[in-house]
Structure 1
Amino acid sequence: MRTGKIERNTTETKIFVEVNLDGTGTYDVSTGIGFLDHMVEQFSRHSLIDVTMKIDGDLHVDQHHTTEDSALALGQALAQAMGDMAGIGRYGTAYSPMDETLARVALDISGRPYLVWKAGFSQEKLGEWDTELIEHWFHSVSQTAGITLHVELIYGSNNHHICEAIYKGFARAMRAGVELDPRKGDAIPSTKGQLGG
């Protein structure tokens, strides 16, 4: 099985994250931020990547450190689980509808982290989570997972639906990207023989 595990303890957060790329979408998530929990659970369920995430963060300060570190650790765990990325699909694209909302997420597991973000929110919070932190979450996970990530809200008005459609689109695109293609065997999905750089 392709698994990754990250444990980080700083003065800002204590984090444990474990993933299984070949799972069934089971999750055990507790970040202290309810809406963030809900989104990571959606990512797990719809990517079929098992995710355990436990965070004890300095929420008495604000939500920035917990949000950022959850994404950094998840990205690190995903990168660890992918290893040299031999045999993976590498690319993934998903259109994700939710009622009046449609989002599109495209990614390349290239080893070259980059985020293009074309989405926004009309309110400052979803539950208790600051919506300005959502883009930062995706930037952080793209950096440590080593993925080029394009996120676009095509249309939508309900902020909950917008956020959830984006996370589900990310999940489905990641599923396609990490899926092993038996035709590739142990080949690295690049003509230069390696990913990154």
Structure 2
Amino acid sequence: MQTVARKASVERVTNETTIALTLTIEGEGNVRVTTGFGMLDHMLTLTAFWAGFDLDLTCNGDMHIDAHHTAEDVALCLGQALATALDDRKGIARVGFARVPMDEALAEVTLDISGRPWLEWRGDEYLPPVIAGEEKDLWREFHKAFASAARMNLHVSYLYGKNGHHLLESASKGLGLALRQAVRRDRQTVLSTKGSLD
């Protein structure tokens, strides 16, 4: 039996960013990302690749100020695309969990595409104050925006590590792998005793 490909496109135009994004859940890890912030491009590429998604994303943002608006708006668009592509989330496994080491660093990601947005952000003290020229808080705000728009309960815990790049890479790969688990179809019905995910 053939199933319809789960895919969504999102465009966002504000005074701060112009974004065009297409996400295909049943992809092959083909990723083209250009946001103007290299570290964000790198982490988005890792997440999409490890999730098995195809992602085509361009963002022209107010990088002359900093990367905050770019990162937050990209996360909102990515979360919106995921929520749209999953529709009523019927048949998905819903929950994912991963730990992916990167040299000395280890992060843990647990998520539930439950319709109840929440970000739990732990181990922040392991991140250096500045990563790739931006305050570390940018990454919390990125994940918060993504969880909110995707209507997802997302827990990111940095367990140990010293290098900020390595810690973010561990979390980004873990997010991708957890998403890969959560979006897989393994039933005919919604995985909820109340009969819906909202």
Alignment TM class, shorter chain as reference: over 0.9
CA RMSD of aligned residues (A): 1.1
2:23 counterpart SS class: strand
Correspondence 1:31-46 to 2 at 5 A: 31-46=35-50
**Mapped pair 1:49 → 2:77:** no
CA–CA separation in structure 2 for the residues paired with 1:63 and 1:102: 25
Specify the alignment match of 2:190 in structure 1: 188
Amino acid at match of 1:113: P
Q: TM-score, normalised by structure 2?
A: 0.94
CA–CA separation in structure 2 for the residues paired with 1:68 and 1:41: 16
Amino acid at match of 1:136: E
2:89 counterpart SS class: coil
CA positional deviation for 1:48: 0.4
2:196 counterpart SS class: coil
Percentage of matched positions with identical amino acids: 41
Specify the alignment match of 1:177 in structure 2: 182
Structure 1: where are the runs of 5+ without partners?
none
1:52 counterpart SS class: strand
Amino acid at match of 1:131: K
Specify the alignment match of 1:94 in structure 2: 98
CA positional deviation for 1:10: 0.8
1:85 to 84, 89, 106: 89
CA positional deviation for 1:122: 4.3
Is residue 80–residue 150 contact of structure 2 (8 Å, CA) maintained in 1?
yes
Post-superposition Cα deviations, 1:94-130, rounded to whole Å, max 9, x if no partner, equal 0111111111100000000000000325433332343
Is residue 16–residue 53 contact of structure 1 (8 Å, CA) maintained in 2?
yes
**Mapped pair 1:58 → 2:62:** yes
Q: 1:102 to 1:122 in 2, by over 3 A?
A: closer
Specify the alignment match of 2:16 in structure 1: 12
Q: Which runs of 4+ in 1 moved over 6 A?
A: none
Q: TM-score, normalised by structure 1?
A: 0.95
Aligned length: 193
**Mapped pair 1:103 → 2:107:** yes
Amino acid at match of 1:177: A
